[in-house]
Structure 1
Amino acid sequence: MAQLKGCFGKRVIASSLTEVIVATSILLLVFGIAVITLNNIMVNTVQNDTQNLETKIEKMMYQYNNNQLKIPSTYKDKDELVSIEKIKIDGVFFIEFSIKNAGIKKEITKRIFANESN
């Protein structure tokens, strides 16, 4: 035991209670800011994610190109309003695919040239 005291016998100077409280509060503040920042990033990522809507539009475009879709068409799927319309812009016919999501308040619209067979 005496050998351990000799090896590790250096005195450790203790901190005062005020220093411990200040250090703890600084650590809590830093971790609090980090948690709030990460939460904000996650919420924004979820709200701005439109990949699901774009996938549905791509699927509808594929169905239209393979003559599996009736035009015009409008339907409601859960909290999404889906519309497919034939429009004319400057003498050129387009098919407009649109999805409005009420939950995340986003709208995605894409247009393609209309097939002559439809």
Structure 2
Amino acid sequence: MAQLRKIKASTLMETLVATVLIVIVFMMASMTLNALFANTVANNTHEVEQELLFLRYLYENGQLQLPYYDELRDWEVIVEAREWNSNNQVFFSAEHLETKKKVSIKL
């Protein structure tokens, strides 16, 4: 028969400490990724920017009556004409109802 070599094994306490350290590292990484993802989702204004561009397109083609007010999920959308330095300008703006973040386009 072949003779088996002795392999040095770790103790139960060393294994438990290593397991706890691995769990802590993965927990910290998970919390960091969760915070990054939540921040990205909260600052995403792509949908409302697309809505403002669509309203601009409608206005340029004479299909939008001013003033225009609407809500898009948590955003309040306003399109209105204002006079600025003797020029009539059309402002397309959206404001988030909770965070008060604003997105606007001037025409």
TM-score by length of structure 2 reads 0.88
Q: Does 1:56 align with 2:48?
A: no
Q: Equivalent residue for 1:30?
A: 25
Counterpart among 84, 91, 100 of residue 86 in structure 2? 91
Q: Which runs of 5+ in 1 are unaligned?
A: 113-118
Q: Equivalent residue for 1:10?
A: 5
Measured against aligned partners, the alpha-carbon deviations of 1:66-118 in whole angstroms (never above 9, x if no partner) come to 00001122233443321111112222221001112225543211101xxxxxx
Aligned-partner residue type, residue 86 of structure 1: A
How big is the alpha-carbon RMSD for the aligned residues of Structure 1 and Structure 2?
1.7
Aligned-partner residue type, residue 46 of structure 1: V
Query: How many equivalent pairs are there?
Result: 107
TM-aligned CA distance change 1:100 to 1:24, over 3 Å: same
Q: Equivalent residue for 2:16?
A: 21
Measured against aligned partners, the alpha-carbon deviations of 1:27-64 in whole angstroms (never above 9, x if no partner) come to 01110011101111111111010000100000000001
Q: Which runs of 5+ in 2 are unaligned?
A: none
Flag the structure with larger Rg. 1
Q: Equivalent residue for 1:115?
A: none
**C-alpha distance in 2 between matches for 1:78 and 1:17:** 54
Q: How far has the Cα of 1:17 moved from its partner? A: 1.9
Q: Moved runs in structure 1, 4+ residues, more than 6 A?
A: none
Aligned-partner residue type, residue 54 of structure 1: E
Q: Equivalent residue for 2:62?
A: 67
